Chain A
Amino acid sequence: MNTRKTSLLSLSIVILLSLLGAVYAHWSDVVTIEGTINMGSLTLSFDYVEPPDCNEYHWNEAHDQLIAGEYLGKDVGNCTAYYTENITDPHTGKEGYKKLIIVVDNAYPQYIVGIVFKLHNIGTIPIKIIGYNITGEKRNATGHKIYNLLWQDDGDGKGSIYEDVNGNGVVDAGDIEVINLEVTDSLPTQIDPCKKYKAEIDLEFKQEAEECHTYILIVEIIGIQWNKS
């Protein structure tokens, strides 16, 4: 008998609460705003299709003009350039490379080489190229680091590589100028998605560059989203 009473009471409470709920819902209202955001991607890469290219030059005797090839047509120094670190933009599925490796063998003063490379915006957001960050190391024949290398940009991408003799991280008195380096690009202010542009880095080794030493240069091309400065 008690069980029947309890069941009846429970049922009554459920029905009562349901009725109250219906009344409340009827006199309230909701406005909903829903949003979905698909973020874009910012991916600057070296071109997947066209490899980089090394071009050697020498000054003519009057020293006012560059001539293709090494002096007197000899093949003394060698330059090899290639891309590494294959990447795929997850948004577009396009491929490219993150790193350009330049290896110069048997270089000597006044050896001049230009490395042509192609940049590709494989993302979905325009990229603004804001500059180049060039660093490196000078190593001896045993691979031991002697000095860090610093780049001083004299303007418009023209400058020199210096050995940081006093190790203070800035180019100043006592540092040794060893390579002329010029970034000659025809890049627009911005690289839009899907667009490709060529640029070039020219190296000219100076008399102060030491024999049997290795100079390692790391060139970073800095691109940011187009609406930032």
Chain B
Amino acid sequence: MKSKSLIGTFGLLIVILSLLGAVYAHWSDVVTIEGTVYMGELIVGILNNSVTHYETINGVPEAEFLPPANKTWVANATITLSDFETSVHHDPPETVAKKMTILMANAYPQWDVHIEFMLKNAGTIPATYTEANFTGYDVTDGENLTWRQDLWYYNTTLKVWIWEGALVDPDGEIMNVRVVAHVPEDGQLEPCTSYKVCIDIDFKQTAEECHTYTFSVTFEFVQWNKA
């Protein structure tokens, strides 16, 4: 008898709770927020067709070096761009190169190469320079060259960052390198903005005849709020 009453009470409770639930549902409402996020992009590279270079001898333009003039054929530099990347956010599209390759043939001491190019933030997010890495290798002797950094500072008058140093082997300097980057002091590159960079290379007497040297310079950037 007792168990019959308990079952009855339980059944009644279920019915009451079901009715209450229907009433609650009837008095509820929903507000929805939907979002679509278009992410920006971070692309820094060398602006296509912005590279120029000229060669000097002891600081004098090759064709004007006396005596005699017009021995511009002795050594030559060839510069090419590769690893192109195009931003999908710009109209018209912005294309920059991620890599510059410099080939210097028949080089000799006091022959100098001067390269200018535009470094462009082709993305949509400000980019901040974080570091530069210089490495070198003597292919002929199979030994690494050391980067000796002499200067790295911001010239507030010219508003440029300046790196100066040399790639050296155990016998001395192979070549001096000077990089001048016309970028703000905080190293931030704004989207759609180009910045002039100049690289000067001059070869030293310690550079050996008939040797092949290679070098690599990497400039690293991160999103502006992470530097």
Contacts and interface: CB of A to CB of B under 8 A. Distances in A.
Interface of A: 27-43, 89-91, 123-126, 189-190, 192, 225-228
Interface string B51-66: 0000001100000010
Contact of B218 (A31, A41, A91, A228): A31
Interface stretch (B29-37, B93-101, B152-160): B93-101
Interface of B: 42-46, 57-58, 65, 67-68, 71, 74-75, 83, 98-111, 119, 123, 125, 127, 130, 175, 199, 201, 203, 207-223, 226
A39 B109 CA distance: 9
A225 B213 CA distance: 20
Nearest to A229: B58
A38 B138 CA distance: 10
Q: Which of B102, B175, B208 has the most CB of A within 10 A?
A: B102
A27 B110 contact: no
B38 to A, nearest CB: 15
Nearest to B62: A227
Contacts of A28: 42, 130, 220-223
B144 to A, nearest CB: 15
Nearest to A226: B71
A35 B102 contact: yes
A31 B199 CA distance: 14
Contacts of B101: 33-36
A225 B110 CA distance: 10
Contact of A125 (B68, B102, B106, B220): B106
Contact of B74 (A32, A33, A125): A125
Nearest to B106: A40
B43 A30 contact: no
Contact of A37 (B45, B107, B127, B216): B107
Contacts of A33: 99-102, 199, 216-219
Contacts of B213: 36-37, 39
Contacts, number: 144
Give chain B's interface secondary structure class: strand
A41 B212 contact: no
28 contacts: A27-B42, A28-B42, A29-B45, A30-B98, A30-B219, A31-B44, A32-B98, A32-B218, A33-B102, A33-B216, A33-B218, A35-B101, A36-B102, A36-B103, A37-B107, A37-B215, A38-B104, A39-B208, A39-B209, A39-B213, A40-B108, A125-B106, A126-B74, A192-B71, A225-B110, A227-B57, A227-B58, A227-B111
A125 B210 CA distance: 11
A225 B107 CA distance: 11
B68 A34 contact: no
B211 A39 contact: yes
Contacts of A189: 67-68
A32 B216 contact: yes
Contact of A34 (B102, B105, B123): B102
A193 to B, nearest CB: 8
Contacts of B106: 38-40, 124-125
Nearest to B219: A31
Contacts of A32: 83, 98-100, 216-219
A39 B130 CA distance: 33
B108 A39 contact: yes
Nearest to A40: B106
A43 B199 CA distance: 31
Given A40-B74, A189-B68, A226-B71, A30 B108 contact: no
Contacts of A192: 71
Nearest to A28: B222
Contacts of B203: 37, 39
Nearest to B135: A34
Given A35-B101, A36-B103, A38-B104, A27 B216 contact: no
